[in-house]
Amino acid sequence: MAHLAWRLAQRWCPSSLQVISFPVVQLHLNRTAMRASQKDFENAMNQVKLLKKDPGNEVKLKLYSLYKQATEGPCNMPKPGVFDLINKAKWDAWNALGSLPKETARQNYVDLVSSLSSSLESSSQVEPGTDRKSTGYETLMVTSEDGITKIMLNRPTKKNALNVEMYHEIMHALKAASKDDSAITVLTGNGDYYSSGNDLTNFTDIPPGGVEEKAKNGAVLLREFVGCFIDFPKPLIASGQCPALGHLPSPSLGYSIAVYASDRATFHTPFSHLGQSPEGCSSYTFPKIMSPAKATEMLVFGKKLTAGEACAQGLVTEVFPDSTFQKEVWTRLKAFAKLPPNAMRISKEIIRNREKEKLHAVNAEECSVLQGRWLSDECMNAVVNFLSRKSKL
Ligand SMILES: CCCCC/C=C/CC(=O)SCCNC(=O)CCNC(=O)[C@H](O)C(C)(C)COP(=O)(O)OP(=O)(O)OC[C@H]1O[C@@H](n2cnc3c(N)ncnc32)[C@H](O)[C@@H]1OP(=O)(O)O
């Protein structure tokens, strides 16, 4: 099922709606004097699920609000907090319909869907088996082909720093990949950095509850994010051709991520430099995999490892020359994707399940410690120094 169709079918669950920066799509509502019947309304709902192209956030909000108004009447939900951006956008859209009668909302919904169906391609025109390419993500490119779902971080101008939207989108993409018909999932980055870790501007957006609330929200988000990796059921492969900082070099998450790196890649977890502490379960997995002394160099002193060093330490599965990296990796991935998917999933489960509870506990503890670190002068100074261009890693 196409990604968008899934999302539409869910009527935009809060975690999947990107509201902020889609271009506004001009709507040409075809208002008719006729009243839409319940059957027309249901047909329109089904039609929405068949849309292949993303109509844009503005339109999705409109559809959402009309649907809610048509089925429940005027907005009856408490207003979400300013930081709950997605739910707030949905609430605003619904609330803006005021006391619009249910029948009119139903008619407007039907008209809107009809105008979309004529202007956007519907999935019935897509040949079965056509490769899927996501259109609904702002910060990722997600494609699925040959039994492989590829999740590519796609903020190359920001060195693929993870902003809040990207955290949510990665979680969404992982959840979708866990249910799609691909056998394996690959995580990679677009541009000259696999990722530069947490987007440090995340720290600048302070909610009314102040920095304490910010830190608390960050810890909740990080715990959920890392939890998605721990629980991901299929084989997950990180494919990195270039340097990686922070989160995503915690490759041993869940003990079941294979990591392929080019000889140009480096792995760097500069937590102390940033006044922070280990995350991604690295405080538990790195010392087990590398040895406590080597893990200390990396996690406490922020030692950057070359791909060769990381491979020697067991953090990386295999290193390839940069010039042949893509060919080598994709040859392997395509072969893995032909293996029986259930056998791979079950094998992963049996490897991981012994450690799963422990990993969730470590994750919770790391996030709680980090919550405190984010309020420290050490962390705030490091972020200010980066943002004021005084420091780089
Ligand atoms: C929910 C919250 C959970 C938090 C959990 C904590 C996680 C810990 C970590 O993630 S630790 C890692 C944090 N990352 C960093 O400290 C990296 C900071 N970036 C750099 O040091 C450098 O940018 C670089 C070494 C990655 C690349 O240097 P280079 O000179 O090649 O490129 P620029 O510095 O000019 O970067 C290009 C633009 O990208 C922006 N950018 C890069 N990294 C980040 C980042 N992590 N956060 C925000 N923005 C980043 C940079 O500002 C440039 O933007 P501009 O073109 O608009 O100026």
pLDDT band with cut points at 50, 70 and 90 for residue 253: low
Indicate whether residue 218 lines ligand 1 (CB < 6 A). yes
Q: Supply the residue whose CA is at minimum distance from atom 8 of ligand 1.
A: 246
Question: Among the atoms of ligand 1, which is closest to the Cα of residue 164?
Answer: 1
Indicate whether residue 198 lines ligand 1 (CB < 6 A). yes
Taking CA atoms, 193 is separated from 49, 53, 142, 203, in Å, by 36, 29, 18, 21
Q: Supply the residue whose CA is at minimum distance from atom 6 of ligand 1.
A: 198
Mean pLDDT of the chain: 83
Indicate whether residue 366 lines ligand 1 (CB < 6 A). no
Phi-psi sector, 136: left (phi>0), alpha (psi -120 to 50), beta: alpha
Enclosing H/E stretch for 81: none
pLDDT in tens, 76-119: 989 887 666 677 778 888 999 999 999 989 998 888 888 777 66
Q: For residue 134, what pLDDT is reported?
A: 56
Indicate whether residue 393 lines ligand 1 (CB < 6 A). yes
- Centre of ligand 1 to C-alpha 160, Å, is 8
Q: Supply the residue whose CA is at minimum distance from atom 39 of ligand 1.
A: 158
pLDDT in tens, 48-79: 877 767 677 778 888 999 999 999 999 998 98
Please state whether beta strands 132-133 and 140-145 pair in parallel, antiparallel, or not at all (unpaired): antiparallel
Q: Supply the residue whose CA is at minimum distance from atom 37 of ligand 1.
A: 158
- Is pLDDT at 1 greater than 50 in this prediction? no
CATH of 140-391, picked from 3.90.226.10, 3.40.50.720, 1.10.150.120, 3.90.380.10, is 3.90.226.10
Q: Supply the residue whose CA is at minimum distance from atom 20 of ligand 1.
A: 392
Average pLDDT estimate for 226-250: 88
Given a contact cutoff of 8 angstroms between Cβ atoms, the answer to whether 383 and 274 are in contact is: yes
Q: How far apart are CA 327 and CA 239, in angstroms?
A: 12
Question: Among the atoms of ligand 1, which is closest to the Cα of residue 167?
Answer: 1
pLDDT in tens, 332-362: 999 999 999 999 999 999 988 889 999 999 9
Q: Where are the domains of the chain?
A: 38-116, 140-391
Strands (E) located in 159-264 = 184-189, 236-240, 244-245, 257-262
pTM of this prediction? 0.71
Tokens describing residue 167: 């955290």
Q: How many CB atoms lie within 10 A of CB 79?
A: 12
Indicate whether residue 279 lines ligand 1 (CB < 6 A). yes
The rounded radius of gyration (Å) of the Cα atoms in the chain is 23
Q: For residue 249, what pLDDT is reported?
A: 61
Which candidate, 175, 308, 187, 196, places its Cα nearest to that of 243? 196
Q: DSSP 3-state helix, strand, coil percentages of the chain (rounded to 5)?
A: 50, 10, 35
- Centre of ligand 1 to C-alpha 199, Å, is 6
Q: For residue 136, what pLDDT is reported?
A: 86
Q: What is the dihedral of CA 302, 160, 19, 233, to 10 degrees?
A: -80
Which three-class secondary structure state does DSSP give residue 151? strand
**CATH number of the domain located at residue range(s) 38-116 in this protein:** 1.20.80.10
Q: Supply the residue whose CA is at minimum distance from atom 50 of ligand 1.
A: 158
Question: Among the atoms of ligand 1, which is closest to the Cα of residue 382?
Answer: 16
Q: How many CB atoms lie within 10 A of CB 10?
A: 13
